[in-house]
């Protein structure tokens, strides 16, 4: 480890090296010493910094998810006033675009997760955290049970759409985009049925907008949602 290199920088290098190997190898087949060699890091330092291959994979996923969210935020800020539902669609779509060059790694993780429930739970938690980041970006404070239900609902949408995305060979991922819109609409309908989105709708209310914002007519208090 160079004197100027921080542990985060080392984790970045190690996670990049592990990620390249993941394209052709299951996580359990990747050895930390091989990752260290590929990253140009002393094995003892790699073991101390990373701890495990799973930690490196999760670190890489977090970096990709943060990149996707920040780039989406920049696009939204440039676009001006964007409905919250459109923000969510854009964020999900851009995340799939970011992951498009990494389909082999995602396939390896899907297989590994089915064989290793503990890995599956950690990957699920990583996805939930990514969806929480997206909803925070839209202005949702995610308060209470309803807020957490929205996070889980969008995570469920992402999981189902990923099956379509994995085989989407259209140049602009048009099939994935269509599936996002379809699955999000279904989630909105379930959300209204289960009252995840707040109270019922008056005849002149727009239920789609209510899903997008998560407005609860009984929760309009200072410090509430969407400030």
Give the residue numbers spanning the domain of 208: 61-213
Q: Residue 225 above 90 pLDDT? A: no
Confirm whether 42 is domain-assigned. Answer: no
Confirm whether 87 is domain-assigned. Answer: yes
pLDDT digits (tens, 9 = 90+) for 194-203: 555 543 333 3
Average pLDDT over residues 154-173: 96
* pLDDT value, residue 82: 84
Query: How many other C-beta atoms are found inside a 10 Å radius of the C-beta of residue 215?
Result: 19
pLDDT digits (tens, 9 = 90+) for 28-48: 999 999 999 999 999 999 999
Confirm whether 15 is domain-assigned. Answer: no
Instruction: Give whole-number Cα distances, 86 to 37, 152, 171, 184, 212, in Å.
Output: 44, 18, 21, 11, 8
Confirm whether 197 is domain-assigned. Answer: yes
Q: pTM of this prediction? A: 0.82
Confirm whether 29 is domain-assigned. Answer: no
Confirm whether 73 is domain-assigned. Answer: yes
């Amino acid at each position: 480890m160079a004197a100027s290199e921080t542990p985060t920088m080392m984790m970045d290098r190690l996670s990049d090296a592990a990620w390249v190997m993941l394209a052709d190898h299951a996580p359990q087949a990747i050895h930390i010493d091989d990752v260290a060699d590929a990253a140009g890091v002393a094995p003892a330092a790699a073991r101390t910094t990373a701890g495990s291959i799973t930690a490196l994979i999760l670190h890489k996923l977090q970096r990709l998810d943060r990149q996707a969210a920040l780039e989406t935020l920049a696009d939204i800020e440039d676009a001006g006033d964007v409905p919250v539902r459109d923000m969510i669609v854009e964020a999900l779509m851009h995340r799939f675009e970011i992951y498009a060059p990494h389909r082999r790694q995602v396939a390896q993780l899907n297989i590994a997760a089915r064989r290793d429930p503990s890995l599956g739970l950690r990957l699920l938690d990583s996805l939930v955290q990514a969806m929480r980041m997206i909803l925070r970006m839209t202005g949702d404070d995610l308060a209470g049970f309803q807020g957490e239900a929205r996070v889980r609902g969008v995570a469920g949408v992402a999981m189902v759409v990923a099956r379509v995305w994995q085989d989407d060979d259209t140049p602009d991922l048009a099939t994935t985009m269509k599936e996002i819109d379809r699955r999000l609409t279904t989630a909105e309908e379930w959300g209204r049925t289960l009252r995840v989105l707040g109270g019922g709708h008056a005849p002149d209310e727009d239920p789609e907008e209510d899903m997008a914002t998560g407005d609860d007519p009984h929760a309009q208090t200072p410090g509430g949602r969407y400030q």
